[in-house]
Structure 1
């Protein structure tokens, strides 16, 4: 089975990977076998490629990349009842231990034993087929494309963040960072009830894309515009009700309370490579609520439903598509961080 394999830091190969063939030869009674169609390139995939690690997760042996995926069911386990061969699906990439305390409490995303695609030592799905539990595989409506379905995974992060923020209709939101996660968070905040969402970045093209998503999104280039002054001016000095930190920048995170309204909420999304500090006094005088998210839980069906209804449109975020045979080149391009690109995807042969 030809797969995109991260051999070690800075080395990718498209090659046969017999180990995964042996691991997935037998289909469990509640599993399905899926022929992969579209796989998104995530920032975490690129980070493993360029750095060989993310925090405590270290690539110590060859690993298949990829975790944002859609495909078609081609085989069913003996006890599968909700899916059929031929169903178009997307897949939630984290599989928890159903007996863990976290899973039993409904917080399966923070189960220490979760097995998450393309997180060492678990292989990802930039390969022709995979085996996945029925419970974490979701049928697609006819009007949701494979490309849109491969966006459900990053969209789930934004929807989880908006859910944790407890947005109220008419809130003013601020998203720091116009990368893929920042933009899906802006869309999720609008879907959750925000009247207006400001999105910041340093790349004019990304801000153009942000503003093209909705007339209720305002892009702010922080290289030439003071976001705190802008928010204060537009809210009669009150501030944003919700601030989402989606840059992963220690500098951005350190000032996250400055544009926040009294009684507002900060949601920390961006992954920080090192410990950060922020102004606890600024949080205290606002009586700010701080939420942290780790991936997502219980939101994949909501994401699929919003794509199907048109409540959220992720198509403008898909800015480049590569053939599977060009996967190594695709990662080289993604690692160069082109300012005009948001989400790159890879299509597998059908």
Structure 2
């Protein structure tokens, strides 16, 4: 089975990889999926460039990729909700069904969760994979494979919007116009925000953001987001601030544009401890939420794509053939301006 393998830092290869033998037999409630489209995530790129994310270290060759869609080609004996030929997207994190976190409904923070392309678990930039029925979701005809491969990052935005407890008419600021920042902005609008400000350094990405709906772009190299938002809200501020940059400098400023009683949602991963202005949080009686991936939102995401409540197509800025996967990662690692989401299509 040919797969895109991270051999070591800055070294990728497209080669046969002996994972198919381990997936030869299906468990009763598993399905076999022929992969169609796989998105390139920032975490995939980070493993490529750094070889680790926090405690997760690549110590041996690993297949990359976890944002995916495909077609069911085989089902286990006890599968009832899916059939051969169904088009699907897949939630990549599989928890221990008997863990306390899972039983409490917090399966995304189960310490035993096995997540695609997170060492030592292999990803799905390969022709086929085996996955549990419970974490595989049928697609309506109106949702393309490319859109379906966006469900995984969209799930982060929807989870963040859910944590923010958005009320109709709220104003929000999203810090960061990368893929996660923009799906968060879309999710905030879908949840009822009257206006969403998005700030970033990249004018090309901000131009994309401005076309997604009631979104005001702010380039932080030329303008202070807090001053702009306070001026346009009669000094009140934004009810919600989403931090989606992973930048310590940005994270240190989350309370500046926040309204009294506002909510901050920390999305961007931080490699080191960050500054936290407890006084600024206190005088606003701010609530701070943190998210780790997502839980219970994949079906909601599929429904919103199908209904048109959220349109992720403008975020897909480049598509590569599977044989060009190494080149795709090299380009993604260079962080070209204006590129939001790059995807790879596998042979069908």
- Using structure 2 for the length normalisation, give the TM-score: 1.00
Structure 2, unmatched stretches of 5+, are: none
Q: Hey, what's the Cα distance between the residues in 2 that align with 1:280 and 1:2?
A: 51
Does residue 7 of structure 1 match 2:12? no
Deviations 1:200-222, CA, capped at 9 Å, x for gaps: 001100000000111x1010001
Q: Hey, what's the Cα distance between the residues in 1 that align with 2:273 and 2:327?
A: 33
User: Residues 1-350 of structure 1 correspond to what in structure 2 (within 5 A)?
Assistant: 1-18=1-18, 20-214=19-213, 216-350=214-348
Deviation at 1:23, TM superposition (A): 1.3
Deviations 1:110-156, CA, capped at 9 Å, x for gaps: 00000000000000000000000000000000000000000000000
Q: Hey, what's the Cα distance between the residues in 2 that align with 1:9 and 1:64?
A: 13
Deviations 1:65-86, CA, capped at 9 Å, x for gaps: 0000000000000000000000
Structure 1, unmatched stretches of 5+, are: none
Deviation at 1:278, TM superposition (A): 1.3
Secondary structure at the aligned position of 1:213 is classed as coil
Secondary structure at the aligned position of 2:69 is classed as strand
Secondary structure at the aligned position of 1:81 is classed as coil
Deviations 1:88-110, CA, capped at 9 Å, x for gaps: 00000000000000000000000
Q: Hey, what's the Cα distance between the residues in 2 that align with 1:31 and 1:21?
A: 15
Deviations 1:222-281, CA, capped at 9 Å, x for gaps: 100111110000000000000000000000001110000000000000011111121010
Q: Hey, what's the Cα distance between the residues in 2 that align with 1:225 and 1:257?
A: 17
Secondary structure at the aligned position of 1:273 is classed as coil
After the TM superposition, list the runs of 4 or more consecutive aligned residues in structure 1 that deviate by more than 2 angstroms. Answer: none
Deviation at 1:22, TM superposition (A): 1.6
Deviation at 1:340, TM superposition (A): 1.1
- Using structure 1 for the length normalisation, give the TM-score: 0.99
Q: Hey, what's the Cα distance between the residues in 2 that align with 1:16 and 1:266?
A: 45
- Number of residue pairs aligned between Structure 1 and Structure 2: 348
CA RMSD, aligned part only? 0.4
